[in-house]
Structure 1
Amino acid sequence: MASISSTRPLSFTIVGEPLTIKGFATTRWRIANLTPGDAGPCRLDLQLYMTERSAYRFNLTSRTPRLFIRAGEAGGMPRPDAITASQDVAAGWLDGEHQVLEVDMPLAIQAWLEAYLAHHGEAPEEGRKKKRKGAGRAREAES
């Protein structure tokens, strides 16, 4: 079986849209023109990781699969520096007070992600482990 690459270059544009919320002027940033390849003004490599396979599957089975772009500190001018297909990774970025922009995943990337999962297998089920009777408890001394 041929090897499936775990990295794809993606190009995109960041567009700012003026917005007024409760009398305050701000800018809403969004990703536009996201395409595979390195022809756009912004370029990042989407790297897939074996440890994120269940998150990729969850994303692919959602109504609208998404990509997430870390774009600097929340509230600041966007400076994209990472991209992921994992909501878990994106949530970690948000917890770190980063600005995260999201965009629909192109069909070509969805197909590539499916091929990656088919090649490497689905992530193992993360079921609850059964505890052995008495495990984790101090045993009474028998005399």
Structure 2
Amino acid sequence: MASITSMRSLSFDVVGEPLSIKGFTTTRWGITELVPGQAGPWTLDLQLYMTERAAYRFNLTSGTPRLFVQAGEAGATPVPASITASQDVAASWLDGEHRVLEVDMPLAIQAWMEAYLAHQGEAPEEGRKKKRKGAGRAREAEA
């Protein structure tokens, strides 16, 4: 069970707008009216994980912090299923051929994430690991 401090409910709507590119018409989907709470047509829980602290810090220090919503398969009408603040998680969703919608992170969520990182501590720096001598190489056969 997740602690209260690592999860927030977020409400939003998904809207499509027609987009014409070189004579072809498609729909550009986006997230609107993202707010904390359970007031919108869609509600997902944003869960923060200790293992993603470095990704959260990277996102928060970017020029425009973002949230990412997994919204079903690419090419289909969006059906929001998950939300994350980790670009690494969003990239894995894209690798799985899922549609990922991005939205600016509200200031209230940025402040909550900063408090989470302050409470849990920053992720340890991943230094270079020292290889054991001969590790990763085939052993030379003795004659």
Report the TM-score, using the length of structure 1 for normalisation: 0.91
Deviation, 1:63, is: 0.1
Equivalence for 1:12: 12
Q: Secondary structure at the match of 2:72?
A: strand
Contact 1:94 1:100 in 2 (8 A): yes
What is the match of residue 60 of structure 1?
60
Query: 1:4·1:115 contact (CA, 8 Å) conserved in 2?
Result: no
For 1:20-39, list aligned pairs within 5 A: 20-39=20-39
Contact 1:10 1:45 in 2 (8 A): yes
Aligned to 2:87: 87
Alpha-carbon RMSD: 1.6
Q: Give the corresponding residue for 1:131.
A: 131
Mapped to 1, the partners of 2:10 and 2:29 lie a distance apart of 18
Letter in 1 for 2:49: Y
Whole-angstrom CA distance in 2 between matches of 1:139 and 1:124: 37
Percent of paired sites with the same residue: 75
The alignment of Structure 1 onto Structure 2 pairs a total of residues equal to 138
Distance in 1 separating the partners of 2:93 and 2:128: 27
1:75 aligns with 2:62: no
Report the secondary structure of 2:5's partner residue.
Answer: coil
One-letter amino acid of the counterpart of residue 43, structure 2: R
8 Å CA contact 1:67, 1:102 repeated in 2: yes
The equivalent residue for 2:41 is 41
Residue in 2 aligned with 1:109?
Answer: 109
